């Protein structure tokens, strides 16, 4: 398994509060702007979609690809980040 980024570690270390969507691992400025344009401006809004999809990795990855064009690595990083956050805080 690959090691997690500092961004991932920072995100899962605390409640997400009002963090922007770009605070999520795997989501940089370009993908963040695409998500914001579609109404996903905060990390908690993406978390809501993650939960609606029942934390299903395949469905979430597909949604992220379709919604903002995330590549396989970005999809995996974002999924892992949200999964670990949920395991810690839900």
pLDDT digits (tens, 9 = 90+) for 33-74: 999 999 999 999 999 999 999 999 999 999 999 999 999 999
CATH code of the domain covering residue 34: 1.10.150.40
- Asked, for residue 67, whether it belongs to a domain, the answer is yes
DSSP, residue by residue, 14-83: S--TT-BGGGSTT--HHHHHHHHHTT--BHHHHHHHHHHTTT-HHHHHHHHHHHH---HHHHHHHHHHHH
pLDDT band at 2 (very low <50, low <70, confident <90, very high): low
Structural domains of the chain, count: 1
Whole-model pTM? 0.94
- Quote the mean pLDDT of the chain: 96
Q: Over 90: is that where the pLDDT of 3 sits?
A: no
Is residue 69, in this structure, part of any structural domain at all?
A: yes
Tell me the residue range of the domain where 33 lies: 6-89
Whether 50 and 81 have beta carbons less than 8 Å apart is answered as no
Residues 22/28, Cβ–Cβ less than 8 Å: yes
């Amino acid at each position: 398994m690959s090691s997690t980024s500092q961004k991932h570690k920072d995100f899962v270390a605390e409640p997400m509060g009002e963090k922007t969507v770009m605070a999520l691992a795997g989501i940089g400025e370009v993908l963040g702007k695409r998500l914001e344009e579609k109404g996903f401006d905060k990390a908690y809004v993406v978390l809501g979609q993650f939960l609606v999809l029942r934390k299903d990795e395949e469905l979430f990855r597909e949604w992220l690809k379709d919604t903002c064009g995330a590549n396989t690595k970005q999809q995996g990083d974002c999924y892992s980040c949200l999964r670990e956050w949920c395991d810690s805080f839900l």
